[in-house]
Amino acid sequence: MSRGIDYSAWDHIYVSDDEEATSPFVDTPSLFRMRHRSRLEKMAAFQQRGEDLQTNFAECQRLLEETQRRLRYLQDGMKDREADEEKEAELKKVQSEVEKLKQDEKSFQLLMEDHQREEKKLPWNVDTISKEGFSKSVFNINSSRKQETLEEKVEKHKTFVEKYAEEIKHFGMLRRWDDSQKYLSDHPHLVCEETANYLVVICIDYEIDEKHALMEQIAHQAIVMQFILDLARTLSIDPRGCFRQFFSKIKTADKPYQDAFNHELELLKERICKCAQLRMDGAMKELEEEEKQTRLGPGGLDPVEVYESLPKEIQRSFDEKNIQMLQEAMNRMDPEEGRYHIRRCIDSGLWVPDAREDEEEEYEEEEGED
């Protein structure tokens, strides 16, 4: 014959809020609240007593281990060299301390066992009869949401950053897992793709400014956000509903998961350094192009490029500002080549012909026509 269910565990349940012992001269709800508060205070005092016992027991064990180490040290010293009265007195004193601490340890063990037995005998009440098994938040996702265009994504990112830039920067500076989780709990709107993208932008700016430590800190938080988003995509839920799962996992993560996190962090830092270098190279090219445009001559040629293309003798004449040397160098060259170099010097602004020489050339040309 099968045994029935044992309901004896429910024989001693203390529920003061439902007691029938009331008085017509006392407000019943107030009486129940007073009894409930009194029971909670007794429970808190009983729990505090158990915690104090555990604390004292751990401290006693620590002192016992230290004293035993000191005793072994003294005993080894007595073996290595002749013992004197002072050493023997100290050894006896430490031995007595060890014996006393062992007795204290046994006393605390007995007290803790008594406390545990009392705890098992305590009747259940409305505060201890059940406990919350788990708690989570779930966000529904609208699967029929239309695909955003590139222009809409850019505008959305710009608007989001303008509104929450300071909050994102604050999150980027957090170092502890618990602080990051609490901040996202207070600001769940930051758990999105826009936050991860803006954190990367901040990293690149810091790297350009050669603030490497700040770059690495922000990069760490960017990977945190990226892992949360990846977890949300894996579970097919809103990222705001799973960021607590990520922090619970990373705080107790095994080595492979932690290695994967660190590997992604190193890859991100490498990409940030490359992007920062590309941006600096592009800025240098733009600056060089602007300088080149400002120094172009009347004919649209760059004087630096023209100077570098001239023969050495002509370059030396420009360096020394010697017109006679320039004329001698031009006379030794082929006339066609000489005119080519002179024209390029004029178009680049290296050579500004004298107005008087221009008038004489025009006069000679007119006489030749006559």
| 329-358: pLDDT as tens digits | 777 887 788 778 778 877 777 767 664 444
pLDDT at 5: 65
Kindly report which listed range (30-34, 232-236, 251-255, 343-347) carries the lowest average pLDDT score. 30-34
Q: Residue 173: is its pLDDT beyond 90?
A: yes
pLDDT at 118: 87
Rounded Cα distance, 103 and 107, in Å: 6
Average pLDDT over the chain, rounded to an integer:
79
Q: Does domain 23-121 have CATH number 1.10.287?
A: yes
The contacts of residue 161 (CB under 8 Å, 6+ apart) are 168, 194, 198
Rounded Cα distance, 313 and 324, in Å: 12
> Region 259-271: what's the mean pLDDT?
90
CATH topology agreement for domains 23-121 and 163-289: no
> Region 166-181: what's the mean pLDDT?
92
Work out the pLDDT band at 1, boundaries 50, 70, 90: very low
CATH of the structural domain 163-289, one choice from 1.10.3720.10, 1.10.8.350, 3.90.1070.10, 1.20.58.610: 1.20.58.610
The residue that leads in pLDDT, 81 or 361, is: 81
Greatest mean pLDDT range, 27-41, 101-115, 143-157? 101-115
Mutual orientation of helices 28-80 and 85-121 as an angle, nearest 10°? 150
Q: Residue 368: is its pLDDT beyond 70?
A: no
Work out the pLDDT band at 250, boundaries 50, 70, 90: confident
Q: Residue 170: is its pLDDT beyond 90?
A: yes
Residues 204/272, Cβ–Cβ less than 8 Å: yes
pTM, rounded to two decimals: 0.46
In terms of Cβ atoms closer than 10 Å to its own Cβ (0-12, 13-18, 19+), residue 130 is exposed
pLDDT above 70 covers a percentage of the chain that reads 76
pLDDT at 67: 87
Q: Residue 141: is its pLDDT beyond 80?
A: no
Per-domain boundaries in the chain: 23-121, 163-289, 303-359
Q: What angle do CA 155, 157, 161 make, to 5 degrees?
A: 120
pLDDT at 144: 52
pLDDT at 367: 45
Model confidence over 80-128: pLDDT tens digits? Answer: 666 677 878 888 888 899 899 899 989 989 999 998 888 888 777 666 6
Q: How many helices (H) and strands (E) does the chain have?
A: 13, 0
Work out the pLDDT band at 220, boundaries 50, 70, 90: very high
Residues 243/138, Cβ–Cβ less than 8 Å: no
Q: Residue 145: is its pLDDT beyond 70?
A: no
Residues 203/272, Cβ–Cβ less than 8 Å: yes
The contacts of residue 282 (CB under 8 Å, 6+ apart) are none
Rounded Cα distance, 132 and 149, in Å: 44
